[in-house]
Amino acid sequence: MEMTFIAALVYVAASAGQATTDAEPFRNAARHGAVYILETPVATPGDLGRLSRAGFDVDHYGGGGTVRIYATGEERDRLLTLGYRVEEIGRQPDPPQYSGMTKGLGVYHSYDALTAELEVYAAAHPAIARLTSLGQSVQGRELWAMLITDIPDIEEDEPEFKYIATMHGDEPVGTEMCLYLIDRLLGDYGVDGRITELVDSTAIWIVPLMNPDGLVNGTRYNAEGYDLNRNFPAYPDDFDGTYFQGAPVAIEGRPAEIRHVMQWTLDHSFVLSANFHGGAVVVNYPYDEEPGIPSGSDALSPDDDLFKAVSLEYSIHNLPMYNSLVFTDGISNGSAWYSIDGGMQDWNYRYAGCDEVTIELSLSKRPSASRLADYWDDNEESMLAYIESMHTGVRGIVTGPEGEPVWAEVRVDGNAQPAYTDPDVGDYHRLLLPGEYTLTFDAEGYLGWIETGVVVEAGAAARIDIVLSIEGGEGEGEGEGEGEGEGEGEGEGEGCNASAGESSGQTTRLGDTTVLAAVGLFLIRGRRRPRLQLDL
């Protein structure tokens, strides 16, 4: 396994060209008062794109050429004026009616019942569970987050995972699936070897209810009338690089629930995540939207094959999903289904470096509670297998010469999408399909490192630990690679004083970053992840 030093790098935010000019007046608008759930036939996918760009809240595109739209009265009238035939299939607000029996599994929980339930779970499992709030909704309800892992108060060399449910308040099945999952993970820890292994090796975060006000009020929207899956920063209008690269966060002015989730996401180093919805049965994966790609066409991300694989890992265990008559194998590229902008999954992937998919759980947004146990049967194995898929690819720890964890960018040759270490521990987890790869590690203030011949096999992730040397230091940094857990490490201090001359052939391949030949500009010993100091 060849290891080579390269010169240090300066990060340049990816140049995305000028922002697009499609600033539409109604895009991501707040909706107040009665909202009509409408279905209207559309002739072509192009129609769908036009509706979306005109500011309509397109929710789903069905197989029969029918699109579902959430519209105010004014928007409904505008649709009619534009010549669309619309059928009203529902109206909001439509608060759920609870039977009073809202404890235990297999029932819909009110916000208060959910809160009580989560507190009971956390209190009963103090060794592996922590219940925290990401912050409060517009109307002052908590955005609960349950962390389940073996040593919950300490960051370990473990990938961080998240499930988020019900950002649309009228799609509560995901909330209940999250409760089932919490029950399974906590109840079977120490009993079921598979669950114990998963909890021991993973930091699993579960946010069962991202939009508590919407749930309580019986609407898709938050209490200010915003669609939370249309108001995340959108590429390239709101950002054109990654957090690591220092691209602006663009958090100000966004709905409170979005700001809390953004803050929390950026405070952690999530590797993989999914968010749950209802109204269809499918896993859809990035991109939801790519400039220049029309709605209805594939918008391929650099990790398209990987996204297909992890999406299949979910769908293949869910027979109604996998046997879908609408979506081949129960998965779809987001844009190929219908494009949205301001969605959560694209922001996670493009900006925060987290591989996120969107999972639609049920054709009906709020099916009978008596069916929840069936939905859990369909989704239990999928939810577990999807988390487990995060333990594939390549992983390791990036430290400096004194063992300090480093916030580093990890690039895969031939793939434009970077991954990042967690600066608290220095661990990275780059999901990759089996193959042979070249990885590049860059961190401000350190000499970069190229690791060639990284072999990824199916199953457990290969491990490559890296020790970077300080740029402008004594030039004796160490690279320490281990192949596939075989314990064939190179041994510290041996063969590590690679001469810079060796690297010239490699540095020329880094076309998208700027290689600084002059060292010594940075004596910062690593860059810490900035903590946002926003008034939330």
Other CB atoms closer than 10 Å to residue 242's CB: what's the count? 20
- The residue (of 96 and 246) whose beta carbon lies closer to Zn ion is 96
Task: Collect all residues with Cβ–Cβ distance below 8 Å to 280 and sequence separation of at least 6.
Answer: 60, 62, 326, 360, 363
Closest CA to 385 of 281, 312, 484, 491: 312
| Least spacing, CB of residue 217 vs Zn ion, in Å | 16
* DSSP letters for 35-65: EEEEEEE-SSHHHHHHHHHTT-EEEEE-TTS
Task: Collect all residues with Cβ–Cβ distance below 8 Å to 402 and sequence separation of at least 6.
Answer: none
Q: Which of residues 393-452 bind Zn ion (CB under 5 A)?
A: none
Q: Which of residues 277-336 bind Zn ion (CB under 5 A)?
A: 277
DSSP-derived letter for residue 374 is H
Task: Collect all residues with Cβ–Cβ distance below 8 Å to 225 and sequence separation of at least 6.
Answer: 30, 31, 32
| Least spacing, CB of residue 92 vs Zn ion, in Å | 13
Asked if 68 is part of the footprint of Zn ion (rule: CB under 5 A), the reply reads no
- The residue (of 109 and 220) whose beta carbon lies closer to Zn ion is 220
345 close to 289: Cβ distance less than 8 angstroms: no
Task: Collect all residues with Cβ–Cβ distance below 8 Å to 470 and sequence separation of at least 6.
Answer: 400, 401, 445, 446, 447, 477, 523, 525
- The residue (of 121 and 375) whose beta carbon lies closer to Zn ion is 375
| Least spacing, CB of residue 79 vs Zn ion, in Å | 20
* DSSP letters for 289-303: --TTPPTTS----TT
Give the C-alpha distances (Å, rounded to integers) separating 350 from 206, 233, 282, 353: 22, 10, 22, 6
Task: Collect all residues with Cβ–Cβ distance below 8 Å to 486 and sequence separation of at least 6.
Answer: none
Q: What is the distance between the alpha carbons of residues 420 and 271, in angstroms, rounded to a whole number?
A: 9
Q: What is the distance between the alpha carbons of residues 445 and 314, in angstroms, rounded to a whole number?
A: 40
Site string for Zn ion, 233-272 (x = CB under 5 A): ----------------------------------------
Closest CA to 404 of 532, 531, 524: 524
SS3 category, 442: strand
- The residue (of 125 and 220) whose beta carbon lies closer to Zn ion is 220
Half-sphere exposure of 368 (CA within 13 A, CB side): 3
Q: What is the distance between the alpha carbons of residues 230 and 221, in angstroms, rounded to a whole number?
A: 10
Q: How many residues does the chain have?
A: 536
- The residue (of 168 and 259) whose beta carbon lies closer to Zn ion is 168
- 114-122, 142-150, 161-169, 448-456 -> range binding Zn ion (CB under 5 A): 161-169
| Least spacing, CB of residue 254 vs Zn ion, in Å | 18
Give the C-alpha distances (Å, rounded to integers) separating 131 from 76, 151, 193, 495: 42, 14, 24, 47
Give the C-alpha distances (Å, rounded to integers) separating 522 from 183, 443, 519, 527: 49, 11, 8, 10
- The residue (of 168 and 395) whose beta carbon lies closer to Zn ion is 168
| Least spacing, CB of residue 365 vs Zn ion, in Å | 8
| Least spacing, CB of residue 367 vs Zn ion, in Å | 14
Pair type for strands 160-165 and 203-207: parallel
- 193-201, 276-284, 311-319, 461-469 -> range binding Zn ion (CB under 5 A): 276-284
27, 60, 168, 429: residue in contact with Zn ion (rule CB under 5 A): 168
- Catalytic residue flag (residue 142): no
Tokens of 296: 């209805």
| Least spacing, CB of residue 70 vs Zn ion, in Å | 10
Q: What is the distance between the alpha carbons of residues 421 and 393, in angstroms, rounded to a whole number?
A: 14
Question: Which among 75, 360, 451, 471 is annotated as catalytic?
Answer: 360
| Residue of this chain nearest to Zn ion (CB atom) | 277
| Least spacing, CB of residue 295 vs Zn ion, in Å | 17
- The residue (of 217 and 440) whose beta carbon lies closer to Zn ion is 217
117 residue type, one letter: E
| Least spacing, CB of residue 179 vs Zn ion, in Å | 18
- The residue (of 71 and 408) whose beta carbon lies closer to Zn ion is 71
- 48-56, 170-178, 290-298, 311-319 -> range binding Zn ion (CB under 5 A): 170-178
How many positions of this chain bind Zn ion (CB under 5 A)? 3
Interaxial angle between packed helices 372-388 and 173-188, expressed in degrees from 0 to 180 and rounded to the nearest 10: 60
| Least spacing, CB of residue 51 vs Zn ion, in Å | 17
Measure the N-to-C terminal CA separation of the chain; round to a whole number of Å.
48
- The residue (of 27 and 365) whose beta carbon lies closer to Zn ion is 365
Residues that bind Zn ion (CB under 5 A): 168, 171, 277
Give the residue numbers marked as catalytic.
Answer: 360
